[in-house]
Amino acid sequence: MQYLVSVIDERTNSGTPDEMRAIGDFNDRLRAGGHWVFAAGLGAPSTATVIDGRGEQPVFTDGPFIESKEHMAGFWIIDAPDLDVALELMAEGSRACNRRVEVRPILVV
């Protein structure tokens, strides 16, 4: 099963050198344990473009979909046999990045 882990922050590109080292070490442990799929940081919400293609012509809107103090600053996609393992792993990930994280299963259609 794969899980999307969203990193929640009030700022963008805010990791300290110590946090970045801890994240790198954590990523290495994910790789060694066979849980690594992909991870990345994201640009600031102000760099987002929302596209609504439901009408006759698509509508492009600058800025985030939702105005909020907190936003998704980065993410991991991990492999784990079940939710309990994903939660255990990402408790360590939350500690490493010093941010709250949200874990959600990826649905395959």
Work out the pLDDT band at 11, boundaries 50, 70, 90: confident
For every residue of the chain, DSSP letters joined together read -EEEEEEEESSSS---HHHHHHHHHHHHHHHHTT-EEEEEE---GGG-EEEE-SSSS-EEEES-SS--SSEEEEEEEEE-SSHHHHHHHHHHHHHHHTSEEEEEEPPP-
pLDDT at 54: 97
Rounded CA gap, 76 and 78, in Å? 6
pLDDT at 101: 97
Residue type, 109: V
Instruction: State the pTM of this model.
Output: 0.88
| Tens digit of each residue's pLDDT (9 = 90 or more) over 77-92 | 999 999 999 999 999 9
| Tens digit of each residue's pLDDT (9 = 90 or more) over 41-91 | 998 888 889 999 999 999 999 977 677 778 889 999 999 999 999 999 999
